[in-house]
Amino acid sequence: MKAQILYVEDDIINSSIVEDLMTSEGYHCTVLRSGQECLDQAAQIKPDLILMDVLMPGLNGLETCTRLRHIDSLHNIPIIFISARNELEDRLKGYNAGGDDYIGKPFEPDELLAKIEASIERRSTLNDLYKKAQQSDLTTNSLMTALGEIGLVMHFLQASSKIKTIETLAQKIIQTHASMSLEISIEIRIYDQKLHFCTEGISHPLEESVFNYVVSKGRLVDFNNRTAVNFPQISILVRNMPLNDPEKYGRIKDYIAIIAEGANAKINNLRSDQLIHRQYKNMLSIIDKTKETIKTVDNHYRMQQYKSNEILSEVSEKIESSFLYLGLSDEQETQLQSITKKSEEKMTQLFQKTSCIDEKLNHILSQMECAIENFSVPKDEPSDEENDLETITLF
């Protein structure tokens, strides 16, 4: 059974277009004309997702979304903004209001449908993750009591030295912040790629675009109850900073900066390890290809030698057989035979020199293989810390 969609839009034409699209795709769609109607009826309708126009008379879409996030029964419903205003600043406002995604007008129907499907699937997955979190034997409070804030930071820095992959590092960062009751999103920039991770385990579409804004605003960026810390390879966005506790707020900012700086150094280290791995594999590949090439060249020369000897033997036989009718003297016959023999000897010497070249090339390859065997390459074996991560993960 398809999901229940609630569309909040004051424009009759726009709402009719979207309603027809939702119905044609099998969704149950309810249209409301204002933000206040949404607040009054959403709890009764119990939608699986809300499509929200931004510019509406009275209560606009941003204000409506903010109020929905403070209603217990509605706070986790996915909300997608639909607006003619689609600049980065507008998306930031949508993110600050609590939106899950944002699409500009006019939009492609397939794009809207894809965002709806992704948001509903994301909500379902998050619900499963929250259930697993509640069943976990190890709670955030017990870990916090055992280590304390600074202990958690020190534990992260020590543990990160054993981490072998970007994914494991991201999970360790999330775990450390979760142990301080902090919800975060992470953007890691490596090899011209942007990798996103978050507390819930599923990347937040609108939040990804927020990183494009905060990454250029300096080391620490504060907005509302969020703080972002930026380093060249990583940005960490904390969503629920303790604004009501100034002392803790200051400590947390220091801690996330330390964690981010340590993570940035680790990412550089992992990138160097990956580069070494690539160079190592490339060198092995080059050696294998060189061996094949030498083998091919050797076979080629051997075939050439065989054919050359065959041609010389044929020429020698023809010359000797021609002695019968050429009327040569014994001295002339001996001279021709001598010329033929010397040619064969020179050809043999030439191929022997080629064989020496092959031997030298094979010797060089052997030296390269020895050098690679003695070359220290980081191994991909899982570390104790990665096993430990699986033991104490919160989700």
Task: Quick: pLDDT tens for 95-121.
Answer: 989 999 999 999 999 999 999 999 998
Mean pLDDT, range 164-179, rounded to an integer: 93
Question: How far from 321 is each of 159, 308, 315, 325, 339, CA to CA, in Å?
Answer: 87, 20, 10, 8, 16
Provide the 3-class DSSP secondary structure of residue 79: strand
Cα torsion through 290, 296, 301, 303, rounded to 10: 170
140-273 fold:
Beta-Lactamase (3.30.450)
Q: What is the pLDDT of residue 362?
A: 73
* CA 5 remoteness from chain centre: 32
| Contacts of 60 by beta carbon, 8 Å cutoff, 6+ apart | 35, 54
- Which of 54, 95, 63 is closest to 211 using CA atoms? 95
- Which of 196, 218, 216 is closest to 207 using CA atoms? 196
* Vertex 16 angle, CA 14 and 17, to 5°: 65
Lowest mean pLDDT among 14-18, 85-89, 194-198, 299-303: 299-303
Any idea which residue has 């080059």 for tokens? 286
Which CATH code for domain 4-135?
3.40.50.2300
Please give the residue that has the higher pLDDT: either 254 or 355.
Answer: 254
Q: What are phi and psi of 171, to 5 degrees?
A: -65, -35
Mean pLDDT, range 380-387, rounded to an integer: 44
| Contacts of 156 by beta carbon, 8 Å cutoff, 6+ apart | 172, 173, 176, 259, 262
Contacts made by residues 56-62, CB under 8 angstroms, sequence distance 24+: 56/8, 56/9, 56/10, 57/10, 58/34, 59/34, 59/35, 60/35, 61/8, 61/35, 61/97, 62/93, 62/94, 62/97
List of E strands, 298-377: none
Task: Quick: pLDDT tens for 27-83.
Answer: 999 999 999 999 999 999 999 999 999 999 999 999 999 999 999 899 889 999 999
Task: Quick: pLDDT tens for 322-351.
Answer: 776 777 777 877 887 788 778 777 777 776
* CA–CA dist 261, 98 (Å, integer): 28
Q: What is the pLDDT of residue 50?
A: 97
Q: What is the pLDDT of residue 325?
A: 72
Q: Return the DSSP state at 375.
A: S
Query: Which residues pair with residue 197 across a beta bridge?
Result: 186
Whether the CB-CB separation of 186 and 236 falls below 8 Å is answered with yes
Please give the residue that has the higher pLDDT: either 148 or 8.
Answer: 8
Q: What are phi and psi of 228, to 5 degrees?
A: -115, 140
Whether the CB-CB separation of 235 and 211 falls below 8 Å is answered with yes
Q: Return the DSSP state at 232.
A: T
Domain locations in the chain as residue ranges: 4-135, 140-273, 277-373
For the cut 60, the answer to whether the pLDDT of residue 379 exceeds it is: no
Q: What is the pLDDT of residue 55?
A: 93
Residue-level length of the chain: 395
- Which of 235, 236, 233, 219 is closest to 190 using CA atoms? 233
Task: Read off the pLDDT band of 285 (50, 70, 90).
Answer: confident
